[in-house]
Structure 1
Amino acid sequence: MSDDGYDHTAVERRWQDRWDEADAYRTPDDAEDPTYVLGMYPYPSGQLHMGHVRNYTITDAYARFRRMCGDDVLHPMGWDAFGLPAENAAKERDSNPRDWTFDCIDTMRGQMESMGFGYDWDREVTTCVPEYYRWNQWLFSRFHDAGLVERDESEVNWCPSCETVLADEQVEGEAELCWRCDTPVEQRELDQWFLKITEYADELLDDIDRLEGWPDSVRQMQRNWIGRQEGTRLPFRVDAPDGERTVEAFTTRADTAFGATFFALAPDHEISRAVAERDEGVRRFVEEEADPDGDEPNGVATDLTATNPVTGEDLPVFVADFVLSDVGTGALMGVPGHDERDHAFAEKLGIDIVPVVAPSAEDVPDVSESAYTEDGVVVDSGDYSGLTSEDAREAITADTEGAEATTQYRLRDWGISRQRYWGTPIPVVHCDDCGPVLVPEEDLPVELPEFINTTGNPLDAAEEWKATTCPDCGGDATRETDTMDTFVDSSWYFLRYVSPDLADAPFDTGRANDWMPVDHYVGGDEHAVMHLLYARFFTKVLADEEGLEHREPFENLLAQGMVRLDGSKMSKSKGNVVSPQEIVESYGADTARLFIMQAAQPERAFDWTDEGVRSTRAFLDRLYEDVTGEIPGGAGERDAAAAYVADETDAVVDIARREYDDLTFNTAVREAQELARTVRGYVEFADAPHRATVERALRAVVKLLAPVAPHIAEELWDELDGEGMVVDAAWPEPEGDTSDADARRRLVENTREDVRDIVEVAGIEDPTRIDVVVTPAWKHRALEIAIESDAPNVISEIMGVDEIREQGDAAASYGQDLQAEREALTRALAPEHEHEALERAAWLLEREFDAEVRVLTADEADDDTVRKAEPGRPAIDIAE
């Protein structure tokens, strides 16, 4: 014990050693009651931050809880160890990415262990070792055999000075300069490898509705990213510089074709480029001014026209930066009367705005200020006038030559090629005679060569490594020097955890079918449309190709909120970072864990405060003193106050189990803390506390806090002579019936609040007696009738009962109150149970006000006082 409380350093080190010795977190391969709990694995940057601590405390607390409930729990940890930062760090330090990465992993693993996270480290996965990335290569081959891999040209950022491809985040500023040498970046077309995720677009979209355990916001982000749209391709004839050409434009609103007043092309459309060669204004816009990410649509007129295939009219052609070449066809018909973006563009460039859809034929909208975007009735549209929008879309599509109903997606195939060293080598060799050839399975893994610190791609410089022979013809060949996007690693890593040492397959299918899907997955929603979508894609492919029984990887997803300091997200660049290690050293891991979990619901952001940390530590110090100090009193029967503590113990145990199951840890923790305060208050109040009741309550508090504050929980469990370690203990169970616990607690708290209000309003400084008068039985009967009745007016039903009607005006008045508050009525305890609950809680009032407290039945009090009593709200009479 330290001067300020318990010695957290000694306690935490002791129990971490004990857990290791006992192999407390080993997960069985064959689980009888499996629960899979997983936090998104981190990139090994070298230091844990508070976002990591929050994420992994959430999963650790839930895993410990489920283990105490008797489940076999898989709660693993690994490292998203490939990636550009390690390569950049190695170049800056003239080192190599592997050494830097493993130094970071060692540091972060040590920090995780100091936080007490209960991982089965025997299942640790590290994606940068050949034992893991060989299976990336194996899966690439399986995807290839399934027709889900293709090679195609794609535009990339190229630095001519560094002679390498740059990621978007390495292109800096409006001038688009290389982050390392400030050279202007060029766009180049390079051959790239793609995984054909679009083959699964419909299933990925349709199955989002089944992800009921995911946040709605994440599901909507995935819907938007996939972006399925039903519409029509309309063929426009454009008088391009090299002659008339047909350019298709996709639209979901073919019913608005008569309202088209312009035609627009993407800046990088081949016709736009051709016009730019002869038109300086178009060239300047295409090369210098176009900003697809800008707040407002912008564009430039050309001297071209496009013929509307529906109306036969010629439309002016513009090059516009809100038209994207990788969305739709890179061309669109502009209908400013019925599209807000087109409307803004038309206003800016002085293009006509014409309404052709209206709520009704007699109510044509004014579209001068804003577009009318709803479906309705088609007007001023020739033979189609008078049709509904839906009918007009079908008719125009059917009647227009060359038009075709089609489905379009925003989703594009996944380009996995990276011109980087620190990633999985793509298992392909290039042969002049055979073309690209897969590396045979028996030759996997294709391992990375030694790192070469060069300006370009280090794999291009590895001449000895690149030179190989063709698996098909035996001739000279060259290895593929692209490595895989690191999202490939994270698209299946959760499957590797079920059998991390398996040598002949990426995962044991039988075990995966037992453990999957992950029951609870926790991480940031910034991964909503990349990692989470790719993981869903991989899982579906593996279900089709490898016998995986589950087509979705994660049953429940929790996107944890950020940890803020002074209202801002913690960030090194802002200088507002709190070091987890410093908190562990100063206050203990349990303090950090408990503060994080009690501060807010896991999905909400919260502010880290020094005051909150100190308050949390003070609570742990008091709990330590309560358990390790001498508990006065003895055996014998429970009195009313002890019975109240027993009731509260049952209620808290029951509530905490529900809250832990729902991952609302803050509520569960607050309940446990309040129970600890109740026990302390009871011990201070009672002349002879009931020892068994106090010890049971303290054991319950320790168990309820064990998932969140495991070290001190082990210490106190040992102090209370608990059997074994608390990590292996069973979750506590109520001894009594808790079905009325919520009503009982409401009754007690309302009564205490009413007494406080009366004392304050009446200015009573020193009450000597407090009478609490329970409601007469007839009011309970009236309330029951009002709750159960379907009649529009319940007064007649209430007054139809003899025992109620006999109360005369009092009954009529109460019936009117019930009618007026009918929507808000809730059930209350029966009269005898109200009396018992209040008698058991009377000590709380006695302790707070230092006054005699009497709990009276309606027969024991005067009529004026009884008249004020209602079910769940006893009458209060206070004497000075």
Structure 2
Amino acid sequence: MSDAGYDHAAVERRWQEAWDEANVYRTPDDVEDPTYVLGMYPYPSGKLHMGHVRNYTITDAYARFRRMRGDEVLHPMGWDAFGLPAENAAKERDTNPRDWTFDCIETMRDQMDAMGFGYDWEREITTCTPEYYRWNQWLFSRFHDEGLVERRDAEVNWCPECETVLADEQVEGEAELCWRCDTPVETRELEQWFLQITEYADELLEAIDDLEGWPNSVRQMQRNWIGRQYGTELEFHVDGYGEVEAFTTRVDTIYGATFFALAPDHPISEELAAEDEEIRHFVEHEADPEGDEPNGIETDLTATNPATGEDLPVFVADFVLSDVGTGALMGVPGHDDRDHAFASKMGVDIEPVIAPEPEDWDGETVPDTPDVSEAAYTEDGVLVNSGDYSGLDSETGRDQLTEDIESASKAKQYQLRDWGISRQRYWGTPIPVVHCDDCGPVVVPEEDLPVELPEFINTTGNPLDAAEEWKQTTCPDCGGDATRETDTMDTFVDSSWYFLRYVSPDLDEAPFDLDRANDWMPVDQYVGGIEHAVMHLLYSRFFTKVLADHEGLEHREPFTNLLAQGMVQLEGEKMSKSKGNVVSPQRIVEEYGADTARLFMMQAAQPERDFDWSEEGVRSTYAFLGRLTELVEDVAANGADGPDDAVASYVDAEIDATIAIATDEYDDLTFNKALRETQSLTRTLRQYAEHADPHAETFERGLSAVVRLLAPVAPHVAEELYETLGHDEFVVDAAWPTAQVDRDHVEKRRRLVENTREDVRDIVEVAGIDDPREIEVVVAPEWKYDALEIAIESDADNLIGELMGESHIREQGDAAADYGQDLQAEREALETTLGPDAEHAALESAAWLLEREFDAPVRVRRADEVDDSVLKNAEPGRPAIEIED
């Protein structure tokens, strides 16, 4: 111990060296089925931030806990090392992304070691190395072989600041900003490579229901992103262009269609724009799909409503999107908010054809027509003004109209689009394709992989375009001159399968050892930020399903359990460099130690919740570790030789209680509750030592339990104290402590003791007793416990009658009737309790707490030891209390 607390620097340095020397965290390849614990690997930005520390403390604590429970644990770490930030940093510093990235990795690895994270560093992967991205290219080739890769012209999201394409998932918010730099995103037409994730849309959606270990919020975000809608496809005849297909989820409103609308880039719109200057001006200069109000321009065309035969005016409208539905829609302003706003602006008729279903509707009469002049009625209801279909409910109307309209058929649409992976930048996996004038795009053969990145050229735009020597190559098919593809892959390709590479990181023959992956996958516990709920997790699920279908992987989902950890904030705001509110993990480690930082964060809140960083909380945590160290060192130096009495029995019970509860909470990853229990036991042990000479076996068992319960979160000080207690093995290899009771028994016993202490405090306060001479606690008679059990289990209307049917209860006369009335009144709130003998034992062992608090002797009595005047107030779980003044 130092004057300021325990010497955290020396303790942490000592045990980190010992762990390294013993290679304690290595997972052998011959393990049959390890518990796979994984934190989302970081982008190597150069320094850990508090979000990193929290994420990796969660996984490290859980991995250590599972290991102490006897599991073989796989707990690896790697680096999501490609990406535009490194390229931009290299340009700014006139260096190259590779050197910048590896410098950052070295710094962050050292910081992770300083935090005591127990990784198997022999399994480390770095996605920017050819040894890794070779397999990105191999997977691209396999996806291509299976028809899951396509190259086509497409409108793409373009970030002018990053000078690259973004996936839909990388465009954030209503303002449509780049997820990296917050620059407004533009739309461009480019030839792009796509992975056809839409081929798996149905399975990706339907399998969400089976992800029971995932947060509901994440599951819903994925459902919303996939966005499957059931509806109807049908054809409208457009003069001069024939049948044009539209999709609607509300064909029941077709009699209310008053216009037909086309997307600005619909083929018909493009033909019209080529011929009509006004339409071209609208398409090129006025159309704004993200505008606050829908806008459009009327054409000279009409479309025939297939249900009514009426001709509808055709508009080119910017709220119609070519990649949603078919790029054409029927406008029903009476029953769609967006259509209503457009019709109001353009002077189009608004006709109601759905009425709210009346409360007393008989299913036959037609309700009154609603007023939709000011706002659309958008709910289901009853069809009105709909010819022969009037009077049908919306669902029946949809089915009947879909059946009756000749061109109509049931259909489904998705919001999900194929994944555009082309990026116009250097620092990523080169797409393994060469372009040949004779053969077209040709995938590079496996024997020529990896296609390695050339030396970095610091230039504007895509540096690969400037790498002329690298670009020039020969066609693998015809041997003629060809040029390499200069786009690189979206870095989410790297993270879509990295968890599989950890099972065999040095394998040269394949991206992963299939047999081992089948044994070790899926990841048992995955931890990462909610910001990855759509992109990374959806793409990882997609890759896993493709590998299951085509490469023999036996698992179709990558992650069994998912925890999305909350943010570390300062005064209610997310920490960020721009706000100047960043707390440096390195400073905290230097001043207070890694264990203090880890323990403070894990006890501050449940892992899923945001919490505020508090220097006061950090200092308090550090002081706790110092007090615990002092307590352990004291017993190691001076020993204990007190009696095995009622007090020792109470402490033993609290040790069991703490172990039982903390174990459950660790299992559920609610570390804050487990740590609260552990700290409470530490206080109890300190109080025990101050109250009396502790019983050696009980006290040492309690300290050993505390140290092992803290070990997953505060591993360094736990190793130090475990050794101080006389153990030769690492605490990381120690067995998790076991309890002799279950949690239900623990909670009943604790509730009894705490209620009794509260009742004594209330009596002392209300009666104004300054100096109690004696406190008597009386356990209820056995018949009351029987009556309580009957009341809890009974569903009889006449509870008192049922109670009086038991002779031993009926014999109690008025006392039984009075207690029966109390039970009847509280029937919904009744809880089971310990039995009379167990209550007596629990109260007797806890009497020292009352004696210590009130400085008075405490006597715990059984029911047969007192007269009825005292006994009438005793109930199960709530003993009678007599205090002598």
Q: What range describes the TM-score normalised by the shorter chain of this pair?
A: over 0.9
SS state of the match for residue 574, structure 1? coil
1:841 counterpart letter in structure 2 = A
In structure 2, what is the Cα distance between the partners aligned to 1:163 and 1:572?
20
SS state of the match for residue 189, structure 1? strand
2:876 pairs with 1:871: yes
1:389 counterpart letter in structure 2 = S
Partner of residue 677 from structure 1, selected from 654, 658, 683 = 683
Question: C-alpha offsets along residues 331-362 of structure 1, whole Å, 9 cap, x if unaligned?
Answer: 22222333344345445555444332342544
What corresponds to 2:83 in structure 1?
83
In structure 2, what is the Cα distance between the partners aligned to 1:503 and 1:365?
72
Partner of residue 663 from structure 1, selected from 669, 692, 697 = 669
Asked if the contact 2:657/2:741 (under 8 Å) is kept, the reply is no
In structure 2, what is the Cα distance between the partners aligned to 1:705 and 1:187?
53
What corresponds to 1:547 in structure 2?
552
Structure 1 alignment gaps of length 5 or more? none
What corresponds to 1:265 in structure 2?
262
1:299 counterpart letter in structure 2 = N
What corresponds to 2:8 in structure 1?
8
1:685 counterpart letter in structure 2 = H
1:2 counterpart letter in structure 2 = S
2:296 pairs with 1:337: no
- Residue 857 of structure 1 and its aligned partner are, at CA, apart by 1.9
What corresponds to 1:302 in structure 2?
298
In structure 1, what is the Cα distance between the partners aligned to 2:438 and 2:60?
55
CA distance 1:550–1:848, change in 2 (3 Å): same
- Residue 33 of structure 1 and its aligned partner are, at CA, apart by 4.5
SS state of the match for residue 872, structure 2? helix
In structure 2, what is the Cα distance between the partners aligned to 1:172 and 1:344?
22
CA distance 1:700–1:289, change in 2 (3 Å): farther
Question: C-alpha offsets along residues 59-116 of structure 1, whole Å, 9 cap, x if unaligned?
Answer: 0000000000111100000000001111111111111100111111111111111110
- Residue 178 of structure 1 and its aligned partner are, at CA, apart by 15
Mapping 1:235-314, distance limit 5 Å: 235-238=235-238, 243-272=240-269, 286-287=283-284, 290-293=287-290, 296-304=292-300, 305-314=302-311
- Residue 747 of structure 1 and its aligned partner are, at CA, apart by 0.6
- Residue 379 of structure 1 and its aligned partner are, at CA, apart by 2.4
In structure 1, what is the Cα distance between the partners aligned to 2:613 and 2:113?
22
Task: Indicate the larger mover: 342-351 or 843-852.
Answer: 342-351
Asked if the contact 1:302/1:318 (under 8 Å) is kept, the reply is yes
- Residue 226 of structure 1 and its aligned partner are, at CA, apart by 1.1
- Residue 268 of structure 1 and its aligned partner are, at CA, apart by 3.7
Asked if the contact 1:87/1:421 (under 8 Å) is kept, the reply is yes
What corresponds to 1:355 in structure 2?
352
2:395 pairs with 1:395: no
What corresponds to 2:101 in structure 1?
101
Question: C-alpha offsets along residues 361-409 of structure 1, whole Å, 9 cap, x if unaligned?
Answer: 4434635355444434322211222334333223322332332322211
What corresponds to 2:770 in structure 1?
765
SS state of the match for residue 417, structure 2? coil
2:833 pairs with 1:828: yes
SS state of the match for residue 38, structure 1? strand
In structure 1, what is the Cα distance between the partners aligned to 2:743 and 2:413?
55
Asked if the contact 1:156/1:165 (under 8 Å) is kept, the reply is no
- Residue 861 of structure 1 and its aligned partner are, at CA, apart by 3.3
In structure 1, what is the Cα distance between the partners aligned to 2:484 and 2:444?
9
Question: C-alpha offsets along residues 811-863 of structure 1, whole Å, 9 cap, x if unaligned?
Answer: 11211221222222111111111111000011111112222212122233343
1:248 counterpart letter in structure 2 = E
2:488 counterpart letter in structure 1 = T
SS state of the match for residue 593, structure 1? helix
In structure 2, what is the Cα distance between the partners aligned to 1:524 and 1:749?
39
Asked if the contact 1:171/1:185 (under 8 Å) is kept, the reply is no
SS state of the match for residue 539, structure 1? helix
In structure 1, what is the Cα distance between the partners aligned to 2:675 and 2:277?
68
CA distance 1:322–1:737, change in 2 (3 Å): closer
Q: TM-score, normalised by structure 1?
A: 0.94
What corresponds to 1:143 in structure 2?
143
Partner of residue 709 from structure 1, selected from 702, 705, 714 = 714
- Residue 284 of structure 1 and its aligned partner are, at CA, apart by 6.5
CA distance 1:335–1:861, change in 2 (3 Å): farther
SS state of the match for residue 116, structure 2? coil
What corresponds to 1:324 in structure 2?
321
1:151 counterpart letter in structure 2 = R
- Residue 696 of structure 1 and its aligned partner are, at CA, apart by 0.4
Mapping 1:427-826, distance limit 5 Å: 427-630=432-635, 634-635=640-641, 637-686=643-692, 688-735=693-740, 740-826=745-831
CA distance 1:197–1:172, change in 2 (3 Å): closer
Asked if the contact 1:468/1:478 (under 8 Å) is kept, the reply is yes
In structure 1, what is the Cα distance between the partners aligned to 2:428 and 2:242?
44
In structure 2, what is the Cα distance between the partners aligned to 1:636 and 1:17?
38
In structure 1, what is the Cα distance between the partners aligned to 2:640 and 2:179?
77
Question: C-alpha offsets along residues 280-319 of structure 1, whole Å, 9 cap, x if unaligned?
Answer: 876666555555445x442234244433222122334444
Question: C-alpha offsets along residues 147-177 of structure 1, whole Å, 9 cap, x if unaligned?
Answer: 11111112246699x9954558899998999
What corresponds to 1:418 in structure 2?
423
2:852 counterpart letter in structure 1 = R
In structure 2, what is the Cα distance between the partners aligned to 1:853 and 1:16?
50
Task: Indicate the larger mover: 738-747 or 575-584.
Answer: 738-747
Asked if the contact 1:339/1:372 (under 8 Å) is kept, the reply is yes
What corresponds to 2:56 in structure 1?
56
Asked if the contact 1:297/1:321 (under 8 Å) is kept, the reply is no
Asked if the contact 2:660/2:741 (under 8 Å) is kept, the reply is no
SS state of the match for residue 655, structure 1? helix
Question: C-alpha offsets along residues 593-623 of structure 1, whole Å, 9 cap, x if unaligned?
Answer: 1111111111111111112111111111111
What corresponds to 2:65 in structure 1?
65
CA distance 1:775–1:414, change in 2 (3 Å): same
What corresponds to 1:38 in structure 2?
38
Asked if the contact 2:367/2:382 (under 8 Å) is kept, the reply is no
Asked if the contact 2:540/2:558 (under 8 Å) is kept, the reply is yes
2:672 counterpart letter in structure 1 = N
- Residue 766 of structure 1 and its aligned partner are, at CA, apart by 3.0
1:141 counterpart letter in structure 2 = S
2:138 counterpart letter in structure 1 = W
Asked if the contact 1:281/1:300 (under 8 Å) is kept, the reply is no
Q: CA RMSD in A?
A: 2.6
SS state of the match for residue 128, structure 1? coil
Question: C-alpha offsets along residues 680-729 of structure 1, whole Å, 9 cap, x if unaligned?
Answer: 0011001x210110010000000000000000000000000123010000
Structure 2 alignment gaps of length 5 or more? none
- Residue 755 of structure 1 and its aligned partner are, at CA, apart by 1.9
In structure 2, what is the Cα distance between the partners aligned to 1:122 and 1:530?
28
Asked if the contact 2:431/2:489 (under 8 Å) is kept, the reply is yes
Task: Indicate the larger mover: 142-151 or 572-581.
Answer: 572-581
In structure 2, what is the Cα distance between the partners aligned to 1:763 and 1:288?
84
Asked if the contact 1:54/1:596 (under 8 Å) is kept, the reply is yes
SS state of the match for residue 95, structure 1? coil
In structure 2, what is the Cα distance between the partners aligned to 1:703 and 1:175?
50
- Residue 771 of structure 1 and its aligned partner are, at CA, apart by 1.7
2:228 counterpart letter in structure 1 = R
In structure 1, what is the Cα distance between the partners aligned to 2:706 and 2:180?
55
Task: Indicate the larger mover: 275-284 or 491-500.
Answer: 275-284
CA distance 1:459–1:672, change in 2 (3 Å): same
